[in-house]
């Protein structure tokens, strides 16, 4: 049985499985429980591009709790540490095919292929028993828009689904959160996150949203947002019994000091199968931050629900899970608990990366596939006019990636740690810019447009949330 966590789907509680690789090796895998798109230009950049991440001239592109609750979270940290210790002893890597381009044919597996990430990535969830590894997704699939579940939204960015099927949706530019009821077709004000700062034409504001792993009991909503001085993560009590517009408690900031700027703020947050909170940050146009291990910018961060560094993070006492990122706006886990992230490139390549703890993803030294140690190559890359990727989700054995400048939804079928075939595009130039995608179930996606963000051409019905059936 699958269950939803953050923006992805994961299987039942964690379990070890032996993985036999095509080259005679073996290992163990853990089966766990939009363009302005920011870019900073350089010599020879293309000057006529306006999209999240690239701008004409600069060449930028957007790439109090109870003691009992605290003790429960502490136990989760200890269990995550124990699981990772076991993974460190047992996990072994498998070899992979080369990264794909969006226009690539199905990959061939040659002896000259670069080394692939190990079969197990990210900290493992504790407990469970062995089960079979997932088979490769079909090379092609389908995606059909069945309904518009909401319309006339203002700059939607973060979105989460509640247990009853309703949605909490944040407005980047205004800081307001609304409750969308897809069955009734209603939109109800929830409240406004105080302190949100947004500049017209920029990318800062109220960004990602995530539900506490214990939302059923603690009712905590997490938000990543920009202020005048930083990007930060805070949690707020959501009380649906209160009057519309007054359903958010005061923010409890768990992390501050993430660099902020007009561009490249990252902003996606999601809880992983291990119960830890992950955050994708941007380097705000200051490229050096991505390789500066003392900075929270240009990283994927991993923290406890209270904002502390888990003891099994790659560097003790540090929140940094992986460095070398330009602007991460998509995070999702596949059915085996592996973490995937979308990445805004500069002028050449956008990326889908398989994230391994402590590995370096190369920005600003490399962009796209470089075959340059010690940097990790992307699994798939796209030309920037085809993607400018924001949110991603896992469903039907595939990563689904929303594209801003590319104005399409990408399907990337997975075969373990690699793409099973070339990516497949849906809805090109049909609904405009696409920002956030979440999996409602294994064959249903909820997809937001992003045409009111200052870089699209909105219709009278924008922005919208679309319900998409996929295979």
Main-chain dihedrals φ then ψ at residue 73, nearest 5 degrees: -70, -35
Q: Is residue 344's pLDDT more than 50?
A: yes
Average pLDDT over residues 369-378: 98
- Give the pLDDT confidence score for residue 133 in this predicted structure: 65
DSSP string, 300-362: EEEE-TTSPPPTTSSSTT--EEE---SBEEEEEE-TTS-EEEEE--SSSEEEEEEE-TT-B--
Give yes or no: 443 in active site.
no
Q: Is residue 453's pLDDT more than 90?
A: yes
**Closest CA relative to residue 290, chosen from 35, 6, 40, 37:** 40
Instruction: Give the percent of the chain with pLDDT over 70.
Output: 72
Average pLDDT over residues 311-319: 98
Which of the two residues, 107 and 319, has the higher pLDDT score? 319
Q: How far is CA 255 from CA 258, 304, 412, in A?
A: 8, 11, 33
Residue in 7, 198, 264, 325 annotated catalytic: 264
Whole-model pTM: value is: 0.78
Q: Is residue 38's pLDDT more than 50?
A: no
Contact, 357 vs 310, CB < 8 A?
A: no
Q: How far is CA 21 from CA 26, 84, 119, 134, in A?
A: 6, 22, 9, 14
In the predicted model, what is the mean pLDDT of the chain?
81
Cα–Cα distance for residue pair 14/123, rounded to 1 Å: 11
Q: Locate 35 and state its tokens.
A: 């363009």
Least confidently predicted of 85-99, 354-368, 429-443? 85-99
Domains and CATH numbers, the chain: 3-470 (2.120.10.30)
Q: How crowded is residue 214: how many other Cβ atoms within 10 Å of its Cβ?
A: 17
Q: How far is CA 436 from CA 75, 160, 245, 409, 413, in A?
A: 32, 10, 23, 10, 19
Q: How confident is the model at residue 51 (pLDDT cuts 50, 70, 90)?
A: low
- Give the pLDDT confidence score for residue 134 in this predicted structure: 74
């Amino acid at each position: 049985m699958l269950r939803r966590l953050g923006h992805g789907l994961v299987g039942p509680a964690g379990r070890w499985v032996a993985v036999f690789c095509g080259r005679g090796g073996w290992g163990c895998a853990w089966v766990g429980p939009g363009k302005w798109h920011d870019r900073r230009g350089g010599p020879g950049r293309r000057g006529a591009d306006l999209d999240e991440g690239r701008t004409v001239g600069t060449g930028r592109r957007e790439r109090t709790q109870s003691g009992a609750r605290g003790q429960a979270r502490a136990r989760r940290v200890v269990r995550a540490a124990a699981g990772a210790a076991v993974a460190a002893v047992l996990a072994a890597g498998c070899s992979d095919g080369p990264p794909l381009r969006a226009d690539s044919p199905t990959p061939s597996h040659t002896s000259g292929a670069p080394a692939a990430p190990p079969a197990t990535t990210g900290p493992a969830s504790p407990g469970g028993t062995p089960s079979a590894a997932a088979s490769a997704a079909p090379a092609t699939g389908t995606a059909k828009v069945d309904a518009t579940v909401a319309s006339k939204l203002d700059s939607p960015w973060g979105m989460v689904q509640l247990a009853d099927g309703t949605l909490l949706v944040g407005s980047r530019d205004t800081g307001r959160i609304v409750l969308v009821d897809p069955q009734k077709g209603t939109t109800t004000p929830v409240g406004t996150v105080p302190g949100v700062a947004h500049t017209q034409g920029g990318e800062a504001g109220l960004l990602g949203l995530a539900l506490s792993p214990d939302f059923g009991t603690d009712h905590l909503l997490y938000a990543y947002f920009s202020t005048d001085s930083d990007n930060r993560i805070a949690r707020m009590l959501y009380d649906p019994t209160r009057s519309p517009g007054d359903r958010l408690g005061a923010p409890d900031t768990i992390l501050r000091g993430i660099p902020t700027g007009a561009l490249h703020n990252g902003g996606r947050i999601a809880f992983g199968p291990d119960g830890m909170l992950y955050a994708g940050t941007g380097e705000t146009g200051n490229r050096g931050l991505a390789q500066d291990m003392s900075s929270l910018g240009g990283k994927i961060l991993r923290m406890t629900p209270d904002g502390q560094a888990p003891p099994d993070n790659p560097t003790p006492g540090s929140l940094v899970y992986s460095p070398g990122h330009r602007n991460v706006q998509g995070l999702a886990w596949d059915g085996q608990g592996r973490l995937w992230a979308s990445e805004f490139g500069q002028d050449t390549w956008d990326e889908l990366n398989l994230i391994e703890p402590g590995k370096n993803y190369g920005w600003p030294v490399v962009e796209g596939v470089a075959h340059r140690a010690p940097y990790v190559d992307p699994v798939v890359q796209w030309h920037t006019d085809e993607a400018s990727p924001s949110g991603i989700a896992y469903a039907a054995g595939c990563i689904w990636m929303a594209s801003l400048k590319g104005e399409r939804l990408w399907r990337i079928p997975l075969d373990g740690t690699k793409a099973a075939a070339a990516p497949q595009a849906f809805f090109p130039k049909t609904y405009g810019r696409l920002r956030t995608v979440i999996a409602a179930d294994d064959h249903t996606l909820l997809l937001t447009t992003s045409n009111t963000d200052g870089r699209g051409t909105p219709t009278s019905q924008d922005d919208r949330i679309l319900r998409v059936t996929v295979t």
